[in-house]
Structure 1
């Protein structure tokens, strides 16, 4: 396997900085001279909980599927997608940090809206989050299906693998236009922001901060450190995920004639994951929000995806291990040195 790309090294540096800053802010807020009435113990518990919530949230199926399928699309466009996961996590975390900042500042209207599951804000954002993620995943999966079809039909033709390839029917042109703005990793910041506007994650962290402040006088620095720790945990895992995914896809598209079957299998898995997660989310909106009576939609909406993200990561790790093992094998005709 090749050395890390400049983008991948930049992601690692950014993760290290984010982890250092968030934990340093937490330590500063919880110095003995600053903590009173047991707030150090409460704050430490909040810090660890928030960080672990960020790590857990990074393994959500929609996160993994979005990063995986976008990485495939950007790789096919000839771009390095190593920073896709970091940008996505930063966009998603922006909503969390902003929401907790407003709650900490005492914006009572927002606090009451987040506390009530029947509030207008909760109802609107509850539909927005899964709708946005489902539509995005289904659109990117459709583009990758078009890429897969070209790959299967035209053996060894690297130009046929590209989503930007000329030709194709009206559906291919429509799909290309739909995802043409997604031509750089930093644009996943916007996608993550739109995912985050579902406010489900922001509400969880905001309630966590409120609960911590209810039992003890929580310093405002510690309250603001909570969402930063959440962001650090999510960015670390999503960032590492995109680095691994980028390396797997970069290896798979090299020498397309020899690695064609591996590439097809890997793409098929990614597309299947995006379709499953997108359909489950969309059916959930149809059943829970719109109230459609279709039995099939209810059955799909009832599928539990809580552990699906971990399954996807396990498959990616297996794919990475396979590519590493295959890369260690000498090519045909190569004579190993004694």
Structure 2
């Protein structure tokens, strides 16, 4: 009884309570978390500078950490992960406002905890960051395996929505006056059950938080390692604890800002497709198909990375995938989605009676 009463009074404490809140409240809560992280990071920086204990942590160094976090949120795997997760939730009739935030917070948890351990001088962190160590290899396998497997499974789940949209497109071509009911894009039938079953238990954004947490264990991105190197260097230079903590916090603030904005954009795009599936069927096929392709590609890159690093496979398709440069792929993918949505939004507005 006590738990139920607390949930009614504080709906943000339970998944069901959060889902029942008005959409604008959920968006406001997500943005409040992002704003809180910014205030915490900037507050620590200002406190260190005003107190004269910032030492090696300068405003410029803090800006570098912030910029690395913002750039990191546009990594190809981040965009694909948030896009495909959002598509899955929308296909199930949900409208989560915090998919991007949840994934980013899971990712950031490892960054902040590792930053704290670096500041504390924990020796095993140096081992974990050394690519040649056994601990780094194990963590790398966990991170890459989780991200690759999850993306493949969620892309396959979204394939059920794509196939449903394709069937609807064929039916509309045969009968342009066909009445399309609400939620017509919700996957149905035996094939949909088979495709969506593996991730049926992933029903709330906090589940994506766990994926983000495991995903970041590999320390396989230059941005993530870079902010830890900055923190370690500033610690060796004698900067105060307060000033040092602002670096991973500002990195986290920037990454959550980018990932949250990406998640909200994807939610708006896929919700628009579901609002009028008959008129927007081609748009839905394009963005869902590109999302699925990006998820499968990141999963294939993860598999190729494991085969190359753990088994020494370097030829054929594996070699081609490991040599593939995806440094700017995230920007291209995000830009593509934004342009398609903006162009379609203008066309839909002009077509209104």
Flag the 1:217–1:293 CA change in 2: closer, same or farther, 3 A.
Answer: closer
**Residue number among 81, 84, 100 corresponding to 1:69 in the alignment:** 84
- Offset at residue 7 of structure 1 (A): 2.2
Is 1:23 aligned to 2:42, yes or no?
A: yes
Q: Could you say which residue in structure 2 is the equivalent of 1:193?
A: 213
In 1, Cα distance between equivalents of 2:310 and 2:182: 44
1:90-116 Cα distance to aligned partner (Å, 9 max, x none)? 1100001111111212222223x0352
Flag the 1:94–1:310 CA change in 2: closer, same or farther, 3 A.
Answer: same
Is 1:275 aligned to 2:296, yes or no?
A: yes
In 1, Cα distance between equivalents of 2:31 and 2:314: 48
On the 8 A contact 1:46/1:212 being kept in 2, the answer is no
Q: TM-score if structure 1 supplies the norm length?
A: 0.88
In 2, Cα distance between equivalents of 1:93 and 1:206: 12
Is 1:153 aligned to 2:163, yes or no?
A: no
Q: Could you say which residue in structure 1 is the equivalent of 2:242?
A: 221
Is 1:287 aligned to 2:287, yes or no?
A: no
1:134-183 Cα distance to aligned partner (Å, 9 max, x none)? 111111111111221122113446555224x3x214xx434322111221
**Residue number among 225, 230, 247 corresponding to 2:251 in the alignment:** 230
Is 1:175 aligned to 2:195, yes or no?
A: yes
Is 1:211 aligned to 2:233, yes or no?
A: yes
Is 1:143 aligned to 2:157, yes or no?
A: yes
* SS across alignment from 1:289: helix
**Residue number among 286, 294, 297 corresponding to 1:265 in the alignment:** 286
Q: Could you say which residue in structure 1 is the equivalent of 2:30?
A: 11
- Report matched runs for 1:82-97 at 5 Å: 82-97=97-112
In 2, Cα distance between equivalents of 1:4 and 1:247: 12
- Offset at residue 294 of structure 1 (A): 4.1
On the 8 A contact 1:91/1:193 being kept in 2, the answer is yes
Is 1:241 aligned to 2:265, yes or no?
A: no
Range moving further from structure 2, 66-75 or 192-201: 192-201
Q: Could you say which residue in structure 2 is the equivalent of 1:318?
A: 339
Q: TM-score if structure 2 supplies the norm length?
A: 0.85
* SS across alignment from 2:190: coil
Q: Could you say which residue in structure 2 is the equivalent of 1:122?
A: 136
Question: Size of the alignment, in residue pairs?
Answer: 320
On the 8 A contact 1:46/1:209 being kept in 2, the answer is no
On the 8 A contact 1:95/1:199 being kept in 2, the answer is no
In 1, Cα distance between equivalents of 2:166 and 2:316: 35
* SS across alignment from 1:303: coil
* SS across alignment from 1:161: coil
